[in-house]
């Protein structure tokens, strides 16, 4: 059985690098891949508006549709602005590239930090919201939300590790089913109300919604503040809009045109569904309360509040129960799969940041399926951390949301304004100038809208949003530190312009570490002699005088020509005496290189490591920090690592006698080494 069979089963066969073009997405697949987050937001954004307005009681609920209209206008403005972005910056850097090019690297890092936090929260919020909707339809699952949410994130991670195209194809059907289900529900509800005159009361419509204590009679500034807070909550519907601008490279050619078209399709569908749900909430009288036990008068003591969409679908499909369960199923699926937008955006952004040396280089490496596997795994781990920290409560998590995305919106729009202004200074063609001026006007309008939203969000959600802001600051500082590290390493490693500036070592002094004359030690001696150092000696540490005496005797009996050096160790330590000896050699001849050969054997099972003290591993780790010291591991495979094959005898002058069995070739395995013979099973 191939060693990587479990991996192949989980993520599929590895793809060649030249197959990258086959993973590009047509618009019909790109829409569910990159727009599922924005489309799914309509499932919980209306609920957030109702929850916020409920603080003032039933008298404020009628403002919901006006707030919905303003949110829809902002969404259309942002989408119009991003259509300019995908044409001007199609490389996939999105807001990060726009801010970096037009405002500088620090602004770019602010945007990158905001987007990274937003992607993490997208996974956390989408997953927990999806689970909450399913629990509304299947109450038996209540109490298991945390475990289910974590499991779903792991499943999404596994699907995305299989590749963007495969995950997109798998997610396309649920996304289109959600769109069809919600639009069908809106149409069905309107027909029932306006054509047949049917009443469609939601289960909470008969309850009396009371204001929370202290908010019984909101007026003036207090009412305005509440409406602004409801508006900022409803703006959660805009999350995910930026994902398409970050994923332009994943589209088929013409990339920019296809991305812009997909943006327009997404916005049109999202606005229709969002306003349709809000209007149905008005028709059915659906109510939401932050504290149902005290705010919903007339509700049973054991009443468990369903999500707004669940209440609306139950009322609309009161005469068609399968419709209710279909909406519950596709809503749960789309909310969970909306996290896929982040699983596509986060790794791409992480790869770009790694290429710019702001994140570890491992994030720039594509995996077997040509996806950025390390970024996918990192995103899943961070999202699970937030889910566990907030006990899988979507209402708590969503308060942290949208801060990051609106920071990036503002930086992106202001960057695009500078972009068009810069081009207008040199452009002379009248037609092109008109196009640039129109684009700048669109971006300016978008900036005004998103700035207003960001101010409202910060003013109304700062008590919760500080966690997201603090995380952004930590990421910003961390990325600056990573860049400083890579810059420092680059300066130290740059090659000298003149070959004469490179000081070559005058001599190489070889050292073979031994504890007893067994096969690994004999192989290391033979290999060291073949390397032809200027001088060569074997070194052992005198931990046990009787063992050292026995080694000396066997050394003389075998007639090994390599001199044996014994280092005293009164405290029975291995590493210290060897390091001191190497340090003295370097001090006496600073231009000499000391080459240390360490014999080690390879075991096949992880638990076999527990039986050995790994002293050679610790020694290698210490030697790596010594300038002018080279370390060579000489492995010997044990039976547990591979089955031996009969080989002809071999010999090396002065090291191994004729007739010794020939060791196998070096293969992969688990290395286990000991430099002390205290346990009588040690290797050198």
* Domain range annotation of the chain: 37-487, 508-672
DSSP 8-state symbol, 251: B
Q: In the chain, what is the straight-line distance between the N-terminal and C-terminal CA atoms, in Å?
A: 33
Candidates 346, 483, 408; CA nearest to 97 is 408
Kindly provide the residue ranges of all beta strands, DSSP E only, lying in 39-97, ordered along the sequence.
Answer: none
- Weakest mean pLDDT among 18-27, 580-589, 666-675: 666-675
Q: Cα–Cα distances in Å, from 36 out to 21, 269, 322, 383?
A: 23, 11, 24, 18
Is residue 315 over pLDDT 90?
yes
Please state whether beta strands 564-568 and 508-513 pair in parallel, antiparallel, or not at all (unpaired).
unpaired
- What is the pTM assigned to this prediction? 0.68
Position 679 scores a pLDDT of 33
The whole-number average pLDDT for the span 651-659 is 42
Q: Yes or no: is domain 508-672 CATH 3.40.50.1370?
A: no
Rg (CA), the chain: 33
pLDDT reading at 617 higher than 70: yes
Q: What integer is the mean pLDDT of 386-404?
A: 83
- Would you state the pLDDT for residue 286? 87
* Pair of tokens at residue 554: 């066997």
Model pLDDT for residues 141-163, shown as the tens digit of each residue: 888 889 999 999 998 888 788 76
Determine contact, residues 239/129, Cβ cutoff 8 Å. no
506: helix, strand or coil: coil
At the second CATH level, the architecture of 37-487 is Up-down Bundle (1.20)
Q: What CA–CA distance (Å, rounded) separates 593 from 589?
A: 9
* pLDDT tens readout for residues 531-576: 888 999 999 999 888 889 999 999 999 899 999 999 998 877 888 8
Q: Does residue 247 or residue 129 have the better pLDDT?
A: 129
Helix (H) or strand (E) holding 453: helix 430-493
Q: Are 32 and 178 in contact (CB under 8 A)?
A: no
| Over residues 362-371, mean pLDDT | 69
């Amino acid at each position: 059985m191939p060693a990587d069979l479990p991996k192949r089963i989980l993520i599929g066969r590895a793809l060649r690098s030249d197959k990258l073009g086959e993973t590009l997405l047509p618009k019909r697949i790109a829409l569910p891949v990159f727009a599922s987050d924005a489309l799914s937001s309509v499932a919980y954004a209306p609920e957030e508006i109702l929850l916020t307005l409920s603080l003032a009681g039933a008298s404020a609920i009628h403002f919901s549709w006006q707030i919905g209209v303003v949110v829809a206008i902002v969404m259309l403005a942002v989408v119009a602005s991003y259509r300019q972005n995908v044409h001007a910056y199609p490389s996939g850097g999105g807001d990060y590239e726009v801010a970096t090019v037009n405002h500088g690297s620090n602004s770019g890092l602010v945007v990158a930090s905001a987007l990274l936090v937003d992607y993490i929260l997208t996974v956390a919020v989408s997953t927990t919201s999806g689970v909450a909707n399913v629990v509304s339809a299947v109450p038996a699952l209540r109490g298991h939300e945390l475990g289910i949410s974590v499991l779903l994130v792991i499943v999404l991670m596994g699907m995305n590790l299989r590749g963007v195209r495969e995950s997109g194809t798998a997610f396309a059907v649920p996304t289109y089913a959600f769109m069809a289900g919600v639009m069908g529900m809106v149409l069905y509800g309107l027909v029932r109300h306006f054509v047949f005159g049917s009443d469609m009361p939601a289960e909470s419509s008969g309850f009396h919604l009371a204001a929370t204590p202290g908010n019984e009679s909101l007026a003036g500034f207090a009412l305005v503040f509440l409406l602004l807070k409801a508006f900022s909550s409803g703006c959660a519907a805009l999350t995910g809009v930026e994902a398409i601008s970050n994923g332009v490279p994943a589209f088929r050619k013409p990339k920019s045109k296809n991305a812009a078209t997909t943006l327009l399709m997404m916005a049109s569908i999202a606005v229709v569904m969002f306003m349709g749900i809000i209007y149905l909430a008005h028709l059915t009288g659906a109510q939401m309360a932050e504290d149902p036990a005290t705010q919903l008068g007339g509700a049973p003591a054991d009443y468990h509040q369903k999500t707004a969409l669940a209440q609306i679908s139950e009322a609309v499909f009161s005469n068609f129960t399968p419709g209710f369960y279909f909406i519950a199923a596709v809503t749960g699926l789309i909310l969970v799969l909306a996290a896929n937008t982040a699983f596509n955006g986060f790794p791409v952004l992480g790869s770009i940041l790694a290429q710019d040396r702001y994140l570890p280089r491992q994030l720039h490496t594509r995996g077997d399926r040509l996806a950025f596997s390390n970024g996918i795994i990192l995103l899943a781990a961070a999202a699970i951390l937030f889910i566990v920290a907030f006990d899988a409560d979507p209402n708590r998590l969503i308060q942290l949301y949208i801060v990051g995305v609106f920071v990036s919106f503002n930086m992106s729009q202001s960057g695009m304004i500078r972009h068009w202004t810069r081009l207008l200074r040199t452009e002379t063609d009248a037609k092109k100038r008109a196009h640039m001026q129109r684009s700048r006007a669109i971006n300016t309008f978008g900036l005004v809208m998103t700035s207003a939203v960001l101010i409202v969000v910060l003013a109304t959600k700062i008590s919760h949003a500080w966690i997201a802001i603090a995380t952004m600051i930590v990421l910003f500082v961390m990325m600056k530190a990573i860049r400083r590290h890579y810059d420092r390493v680059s300066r130290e490693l740059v090659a000298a312009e003149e070959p004469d500036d490179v000081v070559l070592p005058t001599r190489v002094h070889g050292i073979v570490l031994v504890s007893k004359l067994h096969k690994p030690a004999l192989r290391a001696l033979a290999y060291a002699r073949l390397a032809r150092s200027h001088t060569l000696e074997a070194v052992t540490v005198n931990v046990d005088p009787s063992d050292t005496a026995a080694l000396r005797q066997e050394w003389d009996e075998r007639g090994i020509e390599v001199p044996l050096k014994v280092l005293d160790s009164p405290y029975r330590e291995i590493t210290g005496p060897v390091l001191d000896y190497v340090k003295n050699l370097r001090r006496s001849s600073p231009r000499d290189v000391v080459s240390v050969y360490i014999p080690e054997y390879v075991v096949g099972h992880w638990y076999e490591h527990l039986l050995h003290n790994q002293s050679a591993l610790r020694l290698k780790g210490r030697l790596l920090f010594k300038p002018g010291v080279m370390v060579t591991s000489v492995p010997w495979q044990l039976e547990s690592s591979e089955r031996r094959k009969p080989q002809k005898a071999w010999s090396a002058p002065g090291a191994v006698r004729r007739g010794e069995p020939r060791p196998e070739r070096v293969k992969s395995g688990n290395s286990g080494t000991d430099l002390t013979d205290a346990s009588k099973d040690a290797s050198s």
